[in-house]
Structure 1
Amino acid sequence: MAETASSIVVKHPDAEAFVASLLEASGVPTKNAKIVAWGLVQADLRGVESHGINRIPSYLARTRNGVLDPKAEPTITQVTPVVAQVDGNNGFGFPAAHAAMETAISMAQTFGIGMVSVKHSNHFGMSAWIVRQAVDAGMMSLVFTNSSPALPVWGGKSQLMGVSPIACGAPGGENSIPFILDMAPSVAARGKIHKALRRGEKIPKGWALDEEGKPTDDPERALKGVMLPMGGPKGSALAIMMDVFSGVLSGSAFAGGVTSPYDMSAPGDVGHFIVALKPDLFMGLDEFRQRMDVLYQRVVGSDKMEGVDRIYFPGEIEQLTEERRIREGIPFVQAEIDALNAEAARLGVEKIRQVR
C-alpha cells in the first residue's frame, strides 16, 4: 500500500489496544486478546497488511456465528521430553501457536530441540510473528501450518491445497539481522487478494485464475477461482508438504478439509507444526553468530544484476518497514477504518485512535 498523505495513520500501541478491546468485549480472555492483537499488529508493522488487524471483522463474525470459541484455551500434552501436542480447542489460532512455540522453546532450552504439533486450531495470521517469538528467545525455528483450499495440485484445476506459508528463522550476529523467512507456496498469498478486494484494487495477472480457468486481475473473480502455485509443480509439492506436517500428522483437517476464516459454516480445524532449535548445538554460540554475520554480509554484498540498487536479506525489507511504521504509524484506507469502527460500535467500545 502506498503510504501517502491521504492515508489514515494509527500508532501501533493504539492499534494493539483497540484490537484487544474488541476481542475482550467478544469474550476473549485478556491474555489471549493481547496475543492476538500483538500478532496482527506485527503484520501491519512489517507491511503484511493482508494478515493485519483488518482480519478482525472476519474473526469476530466467526465467533458470532459459533464456529470459533472465543473463550477457548489451548491445552498441552507432553508426548516425549522433546515432543508435545497442543489442542487449540477451536479457539483463536494465535494463543495456540504462541503456546506451541513457548513449549518448543522450553524443551529446546533443556534438550536442544523441541517439536510441537497443534490440532483443532484456527488461522494464526502472519507466520513471521511466531518465528520472531523464537528469534527473541535466541532460537532457530520452523513454523508450518495448513489452510483452507485455494490452490490446485499441479495438473488439477480445482481448489484442494491451502496457500499455506512456510516459515523459519535464526538469530543474527552482531553485524547482521535475524534470518526470517515467511512465504506462501503460491505466486502470492491469498490474503493479498482479499486485501485488493477490500480496497477496490486490481491484482496482477498471473496470481490467480477465475472460475473458468482464465487469468484474471479481478480479485472477486480470483477468489471464486484458484491461486497459482509458484514454480508450477514445486509450489504444489510444498503445499502438499504443509498438509502432511500440519494436517495429517496433527490429527486436524487435511486434503481440502480446512474451513476458510471467511467461511461461517464450520470450525476451521487448522493444524500447525512448530520446531525450536538451539543454534549452539554443534558449535559455540559466538561462532554461530559470527557465521551468520558472514552469511548476511555475503548475501547483501553480492554483485548486483542490472537495475538492482540493493540486495536484501530475507525479512530485511519487512524489518525496515517495521522500523519506519513504529516511528510514523501504520497507514490504512477509510474503508478499513470504517469496518473496524463498525465492530467497535457493535461491541460498545471506543473507536480506533487515529493520528491523521
Structure 2
Amino acid sequence: MAESTQQPMHLINPTDLQTFVTQVLIANNTPPDSAAIVAKCLVAADLRGVDTHGSNRIPSYMERIRQKALDPTATPTLRQITPVAAQIDAHNGFGFVAAHAGMARAIEMAETYGMGMVSVKHSNHFGMSAWVVKQALDAGMMSLVFTNSSPALPVWGGKEKLMGVSPIACGAPSGDPAKPFILDMAPSVAARGKIYKALRRGERIPTEWALDKEGCPTDDPAKALEGVMLPMGGPKGSALSIMMDVFSGVFSGAAFAGHVTNPYDPSKPADVGHFLVAIKPDLFMTMEEFKERMDYLYKRVVESDKMAGVDRIYFPGEIEILMEQTRLAEGIPFAEAEVAGLNKEADLVNVEHLKVMQ
C-alpha cells in the first residue's frame, strides 16, 4: 500500500450538518418526517465520534435509493403479536425509521407491562446502534438492541465471509443523566466502517483488524475489504456474530446466514433484521433505588485501581459522551474528500453545499 496521505480536515457545525443531510434526503424523495429521523441519527453518530456510521453514509444510502434497492418512501407497518411483543415490517425502507418506530412501540409496551419486545424484518442498515439505546434511555428505560448485517466475518475455523460485524448494544439509566450505561460494540476487532473510513482518508489500518483475500494480515483497507474482518476474542466474537443472526435474522423472518446485502451494494434490497427490547428499571425495586445502585456501580468502575500507564477509567459510553460535548462546542471534523463526497450528492439534487467552519 502507498504511504498514507494526510488530507486537509474541515470542521462542520452540527446544526448545519443536520440541515444539510435532511435536505439531501428530502431531495431524494424521503418524506420530511423520515428525513428528520435519519439525519438526527446520522449526526448523533458524528457527534459521538462514531464517524464510520455518521453522515458519510449518505452517498451509499442515496445510491441505493437511485438504484431502487431502498425505498425512502416506505412506511413501517406494525403487527401486535402479544401484549408485550410486536413485529414491524420495514418494507425495505430506512432502518432508522423502522427501528425508531420499533423502539417507540417497545417503550409503550414496557410502560404498561414492564417490558416490550419488537422484531423488525425487511429493513436496512440503521447506523450506530447507540442512538436506539439513547431513545430508550430518554424514556427512562433499559434496552437491548440487536441487528444483523452483511457478511464480513468468517466463523471460527472458517475462511469465507459468512457472519456480519453485527453490533450488540444495550443501555441503562443512572441517577446522573450524563452518565448512563451505553454499550455498543461489534463482535469484530474493529467495525468494518473503520476500514471504509481509512480507505476514504487514504490511511493504513492496524494489521490485526483484517486479512486480505489470500488470508494474510494487511494494513491496506482496500485489500482488507476484499478479504475478511477478524472476530474479537477468536471463537467468542464469532459466536456473538452468530447470536446476532439468530435473534435479528432467523427470529424476525429477515435475511440471515450470509444473505444480508452489503449497504454499499446498491444491486438489491438488504433485508436486514433487528431485535429491540425495552425494560422498566423499576420492575424489582423503586426507580430511586435502581439509580442509586447504578451510580454506585459507576463510581466503583471509574474509581477502581488503575493499571500502569492508565490515567483514567471510563464507564461504557462515557468517552462518546465526552466527545459529543467537545464536538457540539467545536464542530465535527471531516476530511476534504468526505466533504467533497457529500457535496457531490448535493449537486445531484440541487441542494446547497455543506458549510464548513474552517
Normalising by structure 2, report the TM-score. 0.97
Give, as a single letter, the amino acid of the residue that structure 2 aligns with 1:197. Answer: L
- The yes-or-no answer on 1:325 pairing with 2:327 is yes
SS in 2 for 1:135: helix
SS in 2 for 1:32: helix
Specify whether residues 6 and 198 from structure 1 end up closer, same or farther in structure 2 by C-alpha distance, changes over 3 A only: closer
SS in 2 for 1:326: helix
- The yes-or-no answer on 1:299 pairing with 2:301 is yes
Q: Which residue of 2 aligns with 1:203?
A: 205
Task: Quote the sequence identity (%).
Answer: 68
- Looking at structure 2, the residues matched to 195 and 326 of structure 1 have their Cα atoms a distance apart, in angstroms, of 21
Q: Which residue of 2 aligns with 1:310?
A: 312
Give, as a single letter, the amino acid of the residue that structure 2 aligns with 1:150. Answer: A
Q: Which residue of 2 aligns with 1:241?
A: 243
**Unaligned stretches of 5+ in structure 2?**
1-5
- Looking at structure 1, the residues matched to 172 and 46 of structure 2 have their Cα atoms a distance apart, in angstroms, of 22
Q: What are the superposed Cα offsets for residues 69-107 of structure 1, whole Å, 9 maximum, x if unpaired?
A: 111111111111100001110011000000000000000
- Looking at structure 2, the residues matched to 28 and 320 of structure 1 have their Cα atoms a distance apart, in angstroms, of 32
- The yes-or-no answer on 1:16 pairing with 2:18 is yes
Q: 1:250-289 maps to which residues of 2 (within 5 A)?
A: 250-289=252-291
- Looking at structure 1, the residues matched to 177 and 276 of structure 2 have their Cα atoms a distance apart, in angstroms, of 28
Q: Which residue of 1 aligns with 2:90?
A: 88
Q: Which residue of 2 aligns with 1:52?
A: 54
Q: 1:171-250 maps to which residues of 2 (within 5 A)?
A: 171-174=173-176, 177-250=179-252
Q: Which residue of 1 aligns with 2:3?
A: none
SS in 2 for 1:143: strand
Q: 1:89-108 maps to which residues of 2 (within 5 A)?
A: 89-108=91-110
Report how far residue 7 of structure 1 moved.
2.4
Check whether the contact 2:7–2:201 (CA below 8 A) recurs between aligned residues: no
Aligned alpha-carbon RMSD (Å):
1.2
Give, as a single letter, the amino acid of the residue that structure 1 aligns with 2:328. Answer: I
Report how far residue 155 of structure 1 moved.
0.2
Normalising by structure 1, report the TM-score. 0.98
- Looking at structure 1, the residues matched to 336 and 8 of structure 2 have their Cα atoms a distance apart, in angstroms, of 9
Q: Which residue of 2 aligns with 1:30?
A: 32
Check whether the contact 2:7–2:336 (CA below 8 A) recurs between aligned residues: no
Report how far residue 315 of structure 1 moved.
0.3
Report how far residue 111 of structure 1 moved.
0.5
Give, as a single letter, the amino acid of the residue that structure 1 aligns with 2:119. Answer: S
SS in 2 for 1:311: coil
- Looking at structure 1, the residues matched to 157 and 69 of structure 2 have their Cα atoms a distance apart, in angstroms, of 33
- Looking at structure 2, the residues matched to 175 and 118 of structure 1 have their Cα atoms a distance apart, in angstroms, of 29
- Looking at structure 2, the residues matched to 203 and 141 of structure 1 have their Cα atoms a distance apart, in angstroms, of 33
Give, as a single letter, the amino acid of the residue that structure 1 aligns with 2:324. Answer: E
Q: What are the superposed Cα offsets for residues 48-86 of structure 1, whole Å, 9 maximum, x if unpaired?
A: 000010000000000000110111111111111100001
SS in 2 for 1:9: strand
Check whether the contact 2:154–2:163 (CA below 8 A) recurs between aligned residues: yes
Q: Which residue of 2 aligns with 1:146?
A: 148
SS in 2 for 1:84: strand
Report how far residue 246 of structure 1 moved.
0.1
- Looking at structure 2, the residues matched to 175 and 337 of structure 1 have their Cα atoms a distance apart, in angstroms, of 33
How many residue pairs are counted as aligned between the two chains? 353
- Looking at structure 2, the residues matched to 6 and 148 of structure 1 have their Cα atoms a distance apart, in angstroms, of 32
- Looking at structure 1, the residues matched to 289 and 206 of structure 2 have their Cα atoms a distance apart, in angstroms, of 44
SS in 2 for 1:323: helix
Report how far residue 110 of structure 1 moved.
0.6
- Looking at structure 1, the residues matched to 128 and 222 of structure 2 have their Cα atoms a distance apart, in angstroms, of 22
Report how far residue 174 of structure 1 moved.
3.3
- The yes-or-no answer on 1:164 pairing with 2:153 is no
Report how far residue 176 of structure 1 moved.
6.5
Q: What are the superposed Cα offsets for residues 313-342 of structure 1, whole Å, 9 maximum, x if unpaired?
A: 000000000001011110101100000000
Q: What are the superposed Cα offsets for residues 120-154 of structure 1, whole Å, 9 maximum, x if unpaired?
A: 00000000000000001100000000000000000
Check whether the contact 2:210–2:229 (CA below 8 A) recurs between aligned residues: yes
Report how far residue 172 of structure 1 moved.
1.2
Q: What are the superposed Cα offsets for residues 263-318 of structure 1, whole Å, 9 maximum, x if unpaired?
A: 11110000000000000000000000000010000000000000000000000000
Give, as a single letter, the amino acid of the residue that structure 1 aligns with 2:153. Answer: L
- Looking at structure 1, the residues matched to 178 and 326 of structure 2 have their Cα atoms a distance apart, in angstroms, of 18
